[in-house]
Structure 1
Amino acid sequence: MSRSQNVLLILSDEHRPGALGCAGHPHVETPTLDSLAAEGVRFTDAYCSSPLCVPSRASFATGRYVHEIGYWDNAAPYDGTPPSWGHHLTDHGVDHTTIGKLHFQPDVDDGFDDQVLTSHMETQDTFGLYRDPPHVRPGGRARIERAGPVPDGEAWYNADGPDHVCDENRFERAVEWIERRGERDDDEPWLLSVNPLIPHFPLEVEQSYYDLYPVADMDLPVDCPSVDDHPALEQLRNHFDGRDLDEEALRRTRSAYYGLVTALDDYVGDLLDALDRTDQAEDTLVIYTSDHGEMLGDHDLWWKCCMYEQSAGVPLIVRGPDIDVGRTVETPVSLLDVLPTMTDALGIPADPAWRGTSLLPFATGKREPNPDRTVFSEYHAHGVGRGFYMIRRSCYKYVHYLNGPDQLFDLDADPKELENLADHPDHRDVRKSLEAALRDLVDPVEADARAQEDQRRRRELSDDDGPSNTDPH
């Protein structure tokens, strides 16, 4: 890079990667994010390192895999160790502010000293401590069935009050922050991280957004009811209690979710407008991504917590100085690559403990990504008795389960992940190679045993008689 850049990081919550106009979705309207992709680079195959809020965010904060840091579930929020990228920026003198959801343990040194309208894990979701057997989540089905519209101005994400912790106020504060920063005379680079809750549940959206997506016109989930009776996935289906919903309810959840995505897109537009108004856009790397996806009934699954594309995949778009225009990169990448990408733009070194690699050389066309690049994800939390692990390389996705048969998908030939090739003789060598790559990263049995033991210990220390918090953000 010719000079240090500012960084605007927008990390939403539960945005499935296909829910973008620029990704070819037949219904979702995302003009802001489509324009961002048209002016920059979209990474089509990006993944989180664990498809659940707290583990994904702890992994992202530290740049390390979940099995390395031990934040396994939604009752284990990040407590400041190991150091975060916030600590790293402070150590290198970079001005940084975070607005919105962090989902860390409250009142700890998490490295993010300037926090605005923050939400942390005040009430922990302890279902991840009760995995043998997993419990059915009370209210899980009702959470799906109540999807629908609310009057404009009365949605949970835009409640009244200047200090209310809601997304509308978070974006307003972010716009004000950008405007104030634009009035300063110094050329020191800054980083602003904006972390909204939407399009996360609850699937309740303003009527005007809901009306953009007439229920009768909405698509239905893929593979629903599912033809796969995989033991781990059956546990998840039972846990969330979302099977056998009528067609109207299935379409209604999509109308509400797509409406939330479009509301988010409008808010992102406010941030980009502020960059333009203050003449900071040309000096700012903008990164849009999410902490994980959302199943929305595909494969008879809800929320996230699995390795299908809709859950483990995330959108990832970058735009900024020297970034190629209107390009897509299909090589698999990870959320953990965002950290060294940010420090690369800021002109400071990456932490050598981080697992990711800067994406700027790929996004600027200075280097072609390695076609054999391997991306890793794992899951150790509620709804399943044992952990499972994912390796993505080239067109193949391999999922290794400790309580069921493995899965292998050719995503080029089978993007809906309907044909498991794990036992196909023509793919024996592919499976063997991907399993070896997995075992180079982690001992699956050992990591699962550590997670289970830690969850048992925390369960015994808990005062609860059973799992709690049925509707976590």
Structure 2
Amino acid sequence: MIKYLLIPCLLMFGTLQAKENKHPNFLFIFADDMSLDTIGAMQRDVCKTPNLDKLMASGASFNRSYNMGAWNGAVCMASRSMLNSGLFVNRAQEGINKYPHWSEIMRDNGYTTYMTGKWHVPGKPRFDVVRDARPGMPNTFPHNQPEAYNRPKSPEHYAKGWKPWDKTKGGFWEGGTHWSEVVANHGVDFIEMAKNDDKPFFMYIAFNATHDPRQAPKEYIDMYPLDSIKIPENFLSSYPYAEPMGVPHSLRDEYLMPMPRTEYAVKVHRQEYFALATHMDEQIGRILKALDDSGMADNTYIIFTADHGLAVGRHGLVGKQCMYDHSMQVPFFIAGPQIKAKQQFDMPIYLQDAMATTLDLAGINKPKHVQFNSVMPLINKKRKQQYPLIYGKYTHTQRMIQDGDYKLIVYPNAQVYRLFNTAKDPFEMIDLAKNPEYANKVKKLTKKLKKLMLDMDDTLNLDQAKNLSQEAQKKITNPDGH
């Protein structure tokens, strides 16, 4: 546990009344592994998130918010490095240690900075006040909780096995209080403290939820009986390109669920996923209520997003190490002064635009090294497009370009190209790449992708494949499903 890095709180006239700052406050709430499937208001699935639904309705929602990807399997680390450095993915790995962090920019411009929850960025959090900074994930590695993996194989296996509400298993229950509740407790405490500070605040509230181990109190599991859980439209028993895309079953995220994937296992994992999301939503509600009760809400901007999405059974995958929308897209809501309610935007943005947005709203000049952009010109109708093309990567095994309605995914190690019209085919089930009618589209998008890669400081050679095993080549030649 990181101890308080306490700063003086200046009392005004000895009262406990909330003050009025010339500059706005910022409450940034960050979730982990949270796909759009978990937002109730989006009606993509059965997940219930009443507090996030209310936040979404109170301001602007960006419905095509992307993460750029990652340089290793810990996609969350790359996402958070981009978020806190302001740098695109191919510069962030080095730049996170080279440039001032988001919190330091805010602090140097008169803000009290506060952080609690998941960090997972190289080095220590650079905030004035830090409470319980957590590692990348609660302990579930096989030597700690082997029974949390490769499950459930059957109803009988589930009945005898690991349970998400069992507090003796540690993980989110380590320390005796669920980590989501700890984050909310600290957030509420800081809001009480901030009422007596003469400076505006920047709060960075980072939940480990909805990352595995997906542990929640039993009453939340019971909210989602298995017969209410839908099998995803793009469910597959296995993904035919798993090995060339660098996501074999041995990858930690993928090993959570047995192979081949079964409808029963997918239902159990989605049940636990939604339960953890609903439990986190309740904790977010506590923070938002504390802000309302403090009298500071009218001068506070709230941004909610997540570091990336998650598959949880879609395309035969479990994790986030892919270029499909279920793993690349996340919720992105912003509410606050002068932002009209019930606005929805469909132009693509990156979730890491959150930093530049706060700088814009605070009247802080964006440092030259920051590459992401504020969403405020989109909200204020001063700009119709944030980025002409969306770029995605995963290690040296996957590249992606989204150009309008079309997405091209490339697995260079096997020279596999996949093309989807995401407007007509939102679940990315119909691969157009092998259709002769789309040969020219694949060619044009490949050319655009190579140019975009250069712009993104990406040195990978798309045309250079690595040798694969004969078994992997057979899977590519005879893929099962779409």
TM-score bucket (shorter structure): 0.7 to 0.9
| CA displacement at 1:167 relative to structure 2 | 2.5
Contact 1:40–1:324 (CA<8 Å) still a contact in 2?
yes
Q: CA deviation at 1:83?
A: 3.0
SS in 2 for 1:377: strand
Q: Which amino acid aligns with 2:90?
A: H
- Note the 1:382-393 alignment, pairs <5 A: 386-393=396-403
User: Could you tell me which amino acid in structure 1 is paired with residue 42 of structure 2?
Assistant: A
> In structure 1, which of residues 252, 277, 282 is the aligned counterpart of residue 268 of structure 2?
252
Which of 360, 377, 385 is residue 370 of structure 1 equivalent to?
A: 385
Matching residue within 73, 79, 87 for 2:104? 87
* 8 Å CA contact retained: 1:225, 1:243: no
Task: Note the C-alpha offset of 1:342.
Answer: 1.1
TM-score by length of 2: 0.78
Q: Which amino acid aligns with 1:230?
A: Y
Question: Structure 1 residues 125, 249: closer, same or farther in 2, change over 3 A?
Answer: closer
- Residue identity matched to 2:100: P
Partner residue of 2:459?
447
Larger radius of gyration: 2
Equivalent residue in structure 2 for 1:101, among 102, 118, 130: 118
Question: Displacement, 1:154?
Answer: 8.7
Alpha-carbon shift at residue 114 of structure 1 (Å): 2.9
Cα distance change on mapping 1:445 and 1:203 into 2, 3 Å: same
> Are 1:142 and 2:161 matched, yes or no?
no
The range that moved more, 437-446 or 195-204, is 437-446
Hey, what does 1:336 align to over in structure 2?
Answer: 352
Question: Is 1:289 the equivalent of 2:289?
Answer: no
Distance (whole Å) between structure 2 residues aligned to residue 246 and residue 67 of structure 1: 36
Q: Does the 8 Å CA contact 2:28/2:203 hold for their aligned counterparts? A: yes
Q: What is the CA distance between 1:406 and its match in structure 2?
A: 1.9
TM-score, normalised via structure 1 length: 0.80
Distance change in 2, residues 1:253/1:226 (3 Å): closer
- Is the 1:150–1:205 contact (alpha carbons within 8 Å) kept by the matching residues of 2? yes
Match of 2:127 in 1: 112
Match of 2:43 in 1: 24
CA–CA separation in structure 2 for the residues paired with 1:417 and 1:170: 36
Pair 22,393 (structure 1): closer, same or farther in 2 beyond 3 Å? farther
SS at structure 2 position matched to 1:194: strand
- Cα distance, 1:17 vs. partner? 1.7
Structure 2 residue corresponding to 1:315, chosen from 327, 331, 339: 331
Instruction: Render the CA deviation track for 1:57-99: whole Å, top value 9, x for unaligned.
Output: 112221112222346xxxxxx8632332223223333221111
Matched residue type, 1:67 = N
Q: Is the 8 A contact 1:95 1:191 kept in 2?
A: yes
Match status 1:195 vs 2:244: no
Is the alpha carbon distance of 1:144 and 1:63 closer, same or farther for their aligned partners in structure 2, counting shifts above 3 Å? farther
Residue 45 of structure 1: aligned partner = 64
After TM superposition, give the deviation of residue 142 of structure 1 in Å: 2.6
1:172 to 185, 189, 202: 185
Partner of 1:69 in structure 2?
92
Figure out how many residues of one structure are paired with residues of the other and give that number: 419
Change (3 A) 1:248 1:394: same
Cα separation, partners in 2 of 1:125 and 1:402, compared to 1, 3 Å: farther
Using the alignment, how far apart are the partners of 1:153 and 1:361 within structure 2?
Answer: 50
Deviation digits for residues 272-322 of structure 1 (CA, Å, limit 9, x no counterpart): 101110111111111111011111011111121101111111111111111
Query: What's 2:470 paired with?
Result: none
Change beyond 3 A, Cα 1:225–1:231:
closer
Mean CA deviation greater in 286-295 or 216-225: 216-225
After TM superposition, give the deviation of residue 222 of structure 1 in Å. 3.5
* Paired residues for 1:393-404 under 5 Å: 393-404=403-414
Residues in 1 aligned to 2:173 and 2:249: alpha-carbon distance in whole angstroms: 33
Letter of the aligned partner of 1:45 in structure 2? R
Deviation at 1:191, TM superposition (A): 0.7
Query: 3-state SS of the aligned residue for 1:447?
Result: coil
Quote how far apart the aligned CAs of 1:194 are: 0.2
**In the TM superposition, what are the counterparts of 1:415-430 in structure 2 within 5 Å?**
415-428=426-439, 430=441
Q: Is the 1:80–1:111 Cα contact (8 Å) retained in structure 2?
A: no
C-alpha separation in 1, matches of 2:334 and 2:359: 14
Is the Cα–Cα contact under 8 Å of residues 148 and 256 in structure 1 kept in the other structure? no
SS of 1:200's partner is coil
Deviates more, 1:287-296 or 1:92-101: 92-101
Select which of 57, 81, 89 maps to 2:80.
Answer: 57
Q: Distance in 1 between matches of 2:425 and 2:83?
A: 29
Segments of 5+ residues of structure 2 without an aligned counterpart are: 1-20, 154-160, 462-482
Say which SS state the counterpart of residue 36 (structure 2) adopts: coil
Task: State the alpha-carbon separation in 2 of the partners of residues 445 and 244 from structure 1.
Answer: 38
Per-residue deviation, residues 154-208 of structure 1 (Å, max 9, x unmatched): 98435556xx792211210111111221234x3x432100001011101222110
CA contact (8 A) 1:222 1:297 kept: no
Deviation string 1:309-355 (CA, Å, 9 cap, x unpaired) is 11111111111111121111111110221111011122211122222
SS state of the match for residue 18, structure 1?
Answer: helix
Q: Which amino acid aligns with 2:401?
A: I
Q: Which residue of 1 aligns with 2:287?
A: 271
Distance 2:78 2:132 in 1: 21
Contact 2:220–2:278, Cα closer than 8 Å, also in 1: yes
Distance 1:125 1:192 in 2: 29
Cα-Cα RMSD: 3.2
- The answer (yes or no) to whether the contact 2:349–2:386 under 8 Å persists in 1 is no
Q: 1:122 to 1:260 in 2, by over 3 A?
A: closer
Instruction: Give the drift of 1:33.
Output: 0.6
Moved more, 115-124 or 165-174: 115-124
User: 2:66·2:329 contact (CA, 8 Å) conserved in 1?
Assistant: yes
**How much does 1:388 deviate?**
1.6
Contact 1:147 1:202 in 2 (8 A): no
- Amino acid of the structure 2 residue aligned with 1:100: G
Cα distance in 1 for residues equivalent to 2:312 and 2:354: 26
CA distance in 1, matches of 2:375, 2:381: 10
Shift of 1:432: 4.2
Per the TM alignment, residue 234 of structure 1 is displaced from its structure 2 partner at its CA by 6.7
Q: For residue 125 of structure 1, report the CA deviation from its aligned partner.
A: 12
Alignment of 1:215-254 (within 5 A): 215-225=226-236, 229-230=240-241, 232=243, 235-239=246-250, 240-241=254-255, 242-254=258-270
Structure 1 residues 228 and 206, CA, compared in 2 at 3 Å: closer, same or farther? closer
What residue in structure 2 maps to residue 36 of structure 1? 55
Task: Find 1:306's aligned residue among 297, 301, 322.
Answer: 322
Could you tell me which of 209, 212, 218 is aligned with 1:207?
218
